[in-house]
Chain A
Amino acid sequence: MFLEYFNYWIVVFLMMAGFYIVIAHDNLIKKIVGLNIFQASVFVLYISFGKITGGTAPIIAEGFSVYSNPLPHVLILTAIVVGVATTALGLALVVRINEAYGTIEDDEIHKADEEED
C-alpha cells in the first residue's frame, strides 16, 4: 500500500509542506520557496501518472513495445517554465519591496503601512 503509491505520498507531503510554508512564514523569500515546493509537488504528480509499469523511455526502438506516456512530461516542461517565470517575478518584487520598505518581513511591512495611514 505504502510502497505502491510511494510517489503519491511524496507528492502529498511536498504539497502540504509547501503550502504550510507559504501560509506560516512572514519572510517574503521563504514564501516564494514554499510556493516552489508546492509547485514541484505537482510536477512529481504529473510525471508519476505518466509512468507505465514496464514501459521504457518514449523513443521508438527495436524490441520495445511499451512506452511511458510522454505527454505529461511535455506539459510539465511548460509548467516548469511558468514556475520559473513566477519565481523570477516574485523575487523581483521582493527586491523592489526591500528598496521601498527596507525590510522583507511581512509583519514589519504591515506595521510600516499602518504608521503611514
Chain B
Amino acid sequence: MVAHFPALLVIIPLIGAPICMLVRVRDWSWAVATICTWASFAISWLLLQQVISDGSISYQMGGWAPPIGIEYRIDMANAFVMLIVTGIGSVIMPYARESVRAEYGVRRVYFFYTSYLLCFCGLLGVAATGDAFNLFVFLEINSLATYVLVGMGKDRRALTAAYQYLVLGTIGATFIVIGIGLLYAETGTLNMYDLADRIEKVGASRTIGAAFAFLVVGISLKLALFPLHLWLPNAYTYAPSMVSAFLAATATKVAVYVLLRFLFSVFNIELTFDVLPLDYIFAALAVIAMFAASTVAIFQENLKRMLAYSSVAQIGYIVLGISLHNAAGVTASVLHLFNHAIIKGGMFLALGCIVYRLGTVNIHHLQGIGRRMPLTTAALVTGGLGLIGVPLTAGFVSKWYLVIAAIEKGWWPLGLLVLLSSLLAVVYVWRIVEVAYMKPVPENAEQVEEAPSSLLFPTFILIGASIYFGIDTDLPLDAAIETAKQLTGNGE
C-alpha cells in the first residue's frame, strides 16, 4: 500500500471523477470529490514525510523499469508542490458546496465535481511524473477540465473567457509537445533523469536549443508570464468563485514547478543560463510584470479582475527569483509560490463570500461593505496586507528572501524594484480599504448578513495560514531550502 502512494495520489481523483458522474442524487458528488481530495492530501503529507526521511522515491508504473517504463519520481520539489495543491483543495472543498450551489445550481452539479476532480488529478499527475510525455498528457487533462470549469461561470463572458483560454492553452501545450519531440529526436529518451544525462553529453546543439525555446515559451504561457498572461484576467474574473480560488492557488503554481523542473533538472544550469541568456530575459519580463500588472490592477473596478492582475504581478516575483538562478533565489521563488498560493486562495474565497451575498464584486457596489460583512472584509484586507508584504504576513517573508537573494547575486537594483513595486500593491489594496471602511453604506442598500460559516471558515483557514506562516516559517522555509538545494545542485 505505502509503496504505491505515488500512483494512488493520481489514481484516486482519476477514479473519483467517473464515480461523481454516476452519483447524481442531490450533491453526493460533492461528498465523493471531498473524500478524494482529503485522501490525496493525506497521501501527499505522508509522501512528504517519507521524502524528508528517506530521500526521493522512484515508482515504476506497472513494474516497467525506467527509462522504458513510465517513472514517477517524488522528490522534495514535487512533494512540496503536491502538498500545496492537495492542501488548498482540501480547504476549498467544504467551501465549494454552498458556493457552487449558489453560483452554478444543484441540478447538474455532478458535472462540476467531475471536472474539478479531473483538473485536480491532472495537476497532481503533472507534479508526480518523471516522464516528459506523460507530463504533457496530464497537463492536457488538467487544462481541458479547467476550460470546462471556467466556462461554468454565471456570466456569458465566462464562455468567451474559457474559449480564449482554450485557444491560448492549446498553443502553449502544442509548443511543449514540439519541445519534447525535439528532445526525443536528439536523445532518444523521454525519462526526465535519463534526458538530463544525455543532454549533458550532447551539449548545446541546435536541436536542444530549439527544444529549449519551445518548452520555455510553452510553459511560460501556462504560468501566465508577462506578456503571455492574456488568458488569465478573464478566466479568473468570470469563473465561479471556488474555481477562481482553486486555479489562482494551484494551476499557475504547478506550471512554475514544471518550469523549475525543466530549467534545472532536465536542462542543466550552465546550459540554461550561461549558453542562453535566459536570466536577463526572465529578469526583464518579471520586472515588467511586477510594474505593469500592478499598475493595471489599480484601475480595475471588478475586484476579481484586480486580484487576477495582481496574480500576474506576483508570478513576476516568482520568476524573478528563478532568474537569479542561485540557491537563495530559487528558495525565495519556492517560498513565494507557497505563500502566494495561500494568500491569493484566501482572498478569492473572501470575494466568493461577497458574491454569495451580493452577487457582485464591482467596487462601486461595495461601499461600506466593512460594516455590512465585517468578518469577510477583515479576511480580504488581511490577505491584501500579505500581497503588499507587510511584516508578520507570509508575503513579507518571501519578499524578504527575494530581496536578500538579489543583493547576494549582486543585482541589488532588482531588490529595490521589488520594494518599489510593492508600493503599487499598497495602492490597490488601499482602494479596497477605502471603499469598505471609509464610504458610508448606501441608504437604499438591502440588509445583508455575514456569509454562512461553511464559507467563512475555509476563508479564515487560508487567511489565518498566511499570518501563521508569516510568523512561524519553519515548514515552508525548510521545504523551500531543500528544494532549492536539490534543484540548483543538479548542474554542479
Contacts and interface: CB of A to CB of B under 8 A. Distances in A.
A94 B185 contact: no
Contacts of A94: 163
B133 A93 contact: no
A46 B181 contact: yes
Given A38-B171, A42-B177, A109-B160, A93 B185 contact: no
B167 A82 contact: no
Interface string B152-168: 00001101101100110
In the complex, which range does the number of interface residues on chain A fall in?
Answer: 20 to 34
B334 to A, nearest CB: 30
Given A72-B184, A78-B137, A89 B166 contact: yes
A60 interface: no
B170 A35 contact: yes
Interface stretch (B143-151, B363-371, B402-410): B143-151
Interface centre among B133, B156, B173 (most CB of A within 10 A): B156
Given A35-B171, A86-B166, A113-B160, A96 B144 contact: no
B140 interface: yes
28 contacts: A19-B171, A22-B167, A22-B171, A28-B163, A35-B167, A39-B170, A42-B174, A42-B177, A45-B178, A49-B181, A49-B184, A72-B181, A79-B136, A82-B140, A82-B173, A85-B144, A86-B166, A93-B151, A93-B159, A93-B162, A93-B166, A94-B163, A96-B159, A97-B156, A97-B163, A100-B156, A101-B156, A113-B160
A24 interface: no
Given A35-B167, A113-B157, 17 more contacts: A22-B171, A35-B170, A42-B174, A42-B177, A42-B178, A42-B181, A72-B181, A75-B133, A75-B181, A78-B137, A79-B177, A89-B147, A89-B148, A93-B159, A97-B156, A97-B159, A100-B159
Interface in A14-34: 19, 22, 28, 31
A34 to B, nearest CB: 9
Interface of A: 19, 22, 28, 31, 35, 38-39, 42, 45-46, 49, 71-72, 75, 78-79, 82, 85-86, 89-90, 93-94, 96-97, 100-101, 109, 113
A49 B185 contact: yes
B156 A31 contact: no
A22 B137 CA distance: 23
A41 B346 CA distance: 42
Interface of A, helix, strand, loop or mixed by DSSP: helix
A90 B181 contact: no
A45 B399 CA distance: 43
A89 B150 CA distance: 12
A42 B177 CA distance: 8
Contacts of A79: 136, 177
In the complex, which range does the number of interface residues on chain B fall in?
Answer: 20 to 34
Contacts, number: 67
B163 A82 contact: no
The 9 A-B residue pairs with the shortest CB-CB distance, nearest first, are A100-B156, A49-B185, A82-B140, A93-B163, A97-B159, A96-B159, A46-B181, A90-B166, A86-B170
Nearest to B178: A42
Contacts of A28: 163
A22 B181 CA distance: 22
Contacts of B159: 93, 96-97, 100
Contacts of B147: 89, 93
Contacts of B162: 93
A93 B162 CA distance: 8
Contacts of A100: 156, 159
B182 to A, nearest CB: 8
Contacts of A75: 133, 181
A113 B136 CA distance: 34
Contact of B137 (A39, A49, A82, A89): A82
Nearest to B207: A49
Contacts of B151: 93, 96
A72 B171 CA distance: 20
A94 B160 CA distance: 8
A90 B144 CA distance: 10
Contacts of B137: 78, 82
